Structure 1
Amino acid sequence: MEQSTLAPEPAVAEADPRRRPTLWRSRNFLLLWSGQTVGEIGAQISTVAVPLLAAGTLDATVFQISLLTFLAWLPYLLFSLPAGMIADRVDQRKLMIACDLGRMVLMGSLPVIALVGDLKLWHLYTAVGLSGVLTVLFNVAYKAKLPRMVEAHQLVDGNAKLSMSKDFAELIGPTFSGVLIGLVGATRTFLANGLAFLISAVTLLLIREVPEAKTEEKADDEERLPLRTQMTEGLAFIRSQPILRKILACTTTSNFFVMAAGSIEVTFMVRELHAPSWMVGLVFSISAIGGLALGAVANRLSERVGSARIIWVSMAVPGPLYLLMPLAQPGWGVLLYGVGLAAFSANAVLYNVAATSYQQRITPTHLLGRVNASFLWICYGAIPLGALTGGALASTLGLRTALLICVLGTWSAALFVVLSPLRTMRHLPADD
């Protein structure tokens, strides 16, 4: 099955970096970026609307509401590896469009069912679970497509801009969702969620593509491999790359402890610090601003510090600021938590942009989908385990002590990349 790729930008002499084309002139990238931004806002709308619909309209119990979070993350454990194989064998742009349209239908079906019939909790479970599967497919496909869309020197900038979309959505999405829910109710809010996915699909449809040359011999050899071997080729490639193994270990460890902290942070602010709901919201807004600010200058920082060096620097340097989170105090001292969270948000943007760019740079094109999927399978597989650990630590040791362990664990993840060959590198391969 032949794939297609996005039309490349005009080539410019590599000898003069100042004359390299920028992403601001890339029609294809700007379409992807704008669609992703709207899609991320839509995802944030559902993050607030789903539990409120379950708790309010459907009168769900606390356990029933927690199952929604479980169903949203479960597809990463079950479907990441096959999603990688699919993304490597089909037209990735068409796959992303299909995922967007599928999520639009699933989310849009909820207010329709409520209008014509009796909306049940199992309808919400079904929509969240199937939407989660499509989200896995979409994320694997778009991470594999980006290196085909931009030139090698533009990867860091492209990943930074896409990361900014997520932080921007986290900044305004929950507030926008809350306003919509207040105006039209939780059920009708999903119409806006569906509209966001439709806009994302339209922007992808407008992207221009040209046929991509394909090595038939390699494709034929792959098709003769057993299905299990094809799905695990991404894992095999990661095992063969010492730096990728360190990055994977760092990301997984960080995700584990970040989710452990995230599972108790609202409880800590409300019960230990007696923070009102508006102040809790302000804390998370401060965090999102930190990510946005660093995302805007990520490319320039990467060039100054070094596109490889920034991977371990971004993990190690902000660590002491994480300690402000368990040291936060009642009153305005709650904002110390926001400062610590902003430091992590900034670190996450710089690290994820640089680490993803390294992964995309060294991975063969025909394996991009499977390598991305393998990362998601392991890194996101740690998330539910981290959430359980955070709750267990808080129940046993208390909220503040548990939070201190979590932030120290998050900082310790830096050791994997500090004690790796990255420490002796300045730039990504072929970046000089």
Structure 2
Amino acid sequence: MKEMLHDCLIPLRRQRDFRLLWSARAVSETGSEVTRLALPLTAATALHASPIQMGLLTAASTFPYLLVGLPSGALADRVGRRRPVMTACEAVSGLVMLSVPVAWLAGLLTITWLITAAFVVGVCTVIFRTFNTPHLATVVAEPQRTAALAGFQSVFSVAQIGGPGLAGLLVALLTAPVAIVVNGLSFLTSALCLRAIRTPEREAGTRGPGLGREIAEGLRILIRHPVLRTLSLTGMTVNALGAAQLALYVVFAVRVLGLPGSLVGIAATGFGVGGLLGAFLAPRLTRRYGESRVLLGSVLFFPVAFVGTAAAHGPVWLVIGQLGLSEVITGVAVVSYSVCAGATTMREAPDGLLGRVNATTQFAVQGVMALGGLLGGVLGESLGIRPALWVCTAASLLVIPCLWLSPIRRDAHRAREERSPSTARRPESVPAASRT
């Protein structure tokens, strides 16, 4: 505890273990952004995948949240040393990703291979993220966690800025399957960074009577806690629709908009620029307005990217402008929301149950993306790609009442009253002994 109190006085950028944890995420996320474009491009261009197959590929990476999300949360609260598990997840993911270019060069790559690789990496990602939140609490002191979460969001944003451009270059030079080697190496580099962290890990605080009861406890907390429940419902809505859009985006960009492969990732680049700005603004907005008000303001801009994608048309330069601008705006909103939602979850979760609360939230918020990916494939096959994107756009408006008709709006109102000068104590009401 004393070490944690001492560390909170040191800026995060000067804390060695946080830098290593941050670096691990930086290299891993950059590689993942390359694969986020290269994997579906491999399926769409090299293997000529159908919309249904693209939906299955999208679902394969998120279905593990439904499969192992809840058990991994209970285990994260039980396990005393979480860092070795996280390191193993990164190492396995790296080896699986490296198998894709090897299979391509050997003439063995199929859609089934890609779906299987996405599924295995998805399982590792679920376990890693579930263990990462309680692990972060051992590395970073509580007063610095909002800043730490913003730092991680900046990592994701920088990766989204540079990743698509790097992916486009690698796809043009090496073909999409071979470009995936970058992700494999990035996972292995991340594993090495994690192994170098020295902060001792405390024993897990809870060891319940059984795995099933511990999972049920995490579900019960999420369902009964009004704030955590609202954040989960909002995340489920936007992620399901985002996955549906993602399942169609590459095919839409290549076959409908006519974008070359090197420019397909332009939307992700715009989101990264906005996300980097959001990571910079989120701690400052939170200090001025409070987390609840930032959450309410952020969701108003969530539908912008859906509109920008569905409405995109015209020459390449205009399409790029439409996609890029809409994604910049959404990137600011989503990252600001994510930082505040993460800090709120860490604060609201009961002691000793953070792993289960986080896993249950991820189970709901990320697991629904598997269904969203399948939904996108079905809508694309039955309605056509652009009409399916408009359906997603209309449905994205649901995120606004989901949050605005919740207790979070009441919390925001209370915070605004507390910060309002009109409610502050007037000078004449201050005891004379306290005046200067």
Q: The TM-score by the shorter chain falls in which range?
A: 0.7 to 0.9
Distance 1:130 1:275, change over 3 A: closer
The aligned counterpart of 1:142 is: 132
Offset from partner CA, 1:176-226 (integer Å, 9 cap, x none): 2343344445555444322211211121112122352665xx53xx0x23x
The aligned counterpart of 1:406 is: 392
The aligned counterpart of 1:293 is: 277
The aligned counterpart of 2:428 is: none
Q: Could you tell me how far apart the structure 1 residues matched to 2:151 and 2:342 are?
A: 13
Give the letter aligned to residue 332 of structure 2.
A
The aligned counterpart of 2:401 is: 415
Distance 1:340 1:199, change over 3 A: same
Offset from partner CA, 1:348-407 (integer Å, 9 cap, x none): 101111111111112134222221111121112222332344455556666555434423
Q: Could you tell me how far apart the structure 1 residues matched to 2:12 and 2:127 are?
A: 25
TM score, norm. by length of structure 2: 0.82
Within a 5 Å distance, the mapping from 1:150-169 to structure 2 comes to 150-169=140-159
- Once the 2 structures are TM-superposed, how far is the Cα of residue 78 of structure 1 from its aligned partner? 0.8
- Tell me whether 1:78 sits opposite 2:67 in the alignment: yes
Q: Percent same amino acid among aligned pairs?
A: 32
Alignment equivalent of 2:366, drawn from 380, 385, 392: 380
Contact in 1 for aligned 2:20/2:197 (Cα 8 Å):
yes
What secondary structure does 1:425 align onto? helix
- Tell me whether 1:177 sits opposite 2:167 in the alignment: yes
Count of aligned pairs: 411
Contact in 2 for aligned 1:252/1:382 (Cα 8 Å):
yes
TM score, norm. by length of structure 1: 0.82
Contact in 1 for aligned 2:77/2:353 (Cα 8 Å):
yes
Q: What's the Cα RMSD here?
A: 3.3
The aligned counterpart of 1:45 is: 34
Offset from partner CA, 1:104-146 (integer Å, 9 cap, x none): 222234455677x663535545433322211111111112322
Q: Could you tell me how far apart the structure 2 residues matched to 1:51 and 1:273 are?
A: 16
The aligned counterpart of 2:57 is: 68
Contact in 2 for aligned 1:9/1:26 (Cα 8 Å):
no
Within a 5 Å distance, the mapping from 1:241-280 to structure 2 comes to 241-266=225-250, 280=264
- Tell me whether 1:94 sits opposite 2:80 in the alignment: no
Distance 1:108 1:320, change over 3 A: closer
The aligned counterpart of 1:424 is: 410
**181-190 vs 146-155, which deviates more?**
181-190
The aligned counterpart of 1:15 is: none
- Once the 2 structures are TM-superposed, how far is the Cα of residue 276 of structure 1 from its aligned partner? 5.5
Q: Could you tell me how far apart the structure 1 residues matched to 2:372 and 2:10 are?
A: 42
Distance 1:6 1:291, change over 3 A: farther
Contact in 2 for aligned 1:260/1:387 (Cα 8 Å):
yes
- Once the 2 structures are TM-superposed, how far is the Cα of residue 99 of structure 1 from its aligned partner? 0.7
Q: Could you tell me how far apart the structure 1 residues matched to 2:185 and 2:304 are?
A: 42
Please, which runs of 5 or more residues in structure 2 have no aligned partner?
420-436
Q: Could you tell me how far apart the structure 1 residues matched to 2:179 and 2:332 are?
A: 30
Offset from partner CA, 1:134-170 (integer Å, 9 cap, x none): 1111111112322232222322221122122222222
Q: Could you tell me how far apart the structure 1 residues matched to 2:187 and 2:160 are?
A: 16
Q: Could you tell me how far apart the structure 2 residues matched to 1:346 and 1:10 are?
A: 33
The aligned counterpart of 1:17 is: none
- Once the 2 structures are TM-superposed, how far is the Cα of residue 79 of structure 1 from its aligned partner? 1.1
Please, which runs of 5 or more residues in structure 1 have no aligned partner?
13-19
Within a 5 Å distance, the mapping from 1:23-62 to structure 2 comes to 23-53=12-42, 59=47, 61-62=49-50
Q: Could you tell me how far apart the structure 1 residues matched to 2:329 and 2:288 are?
A: 20
- Tell me whether 1:350 sits opposite 2:336 in the alignment: yes
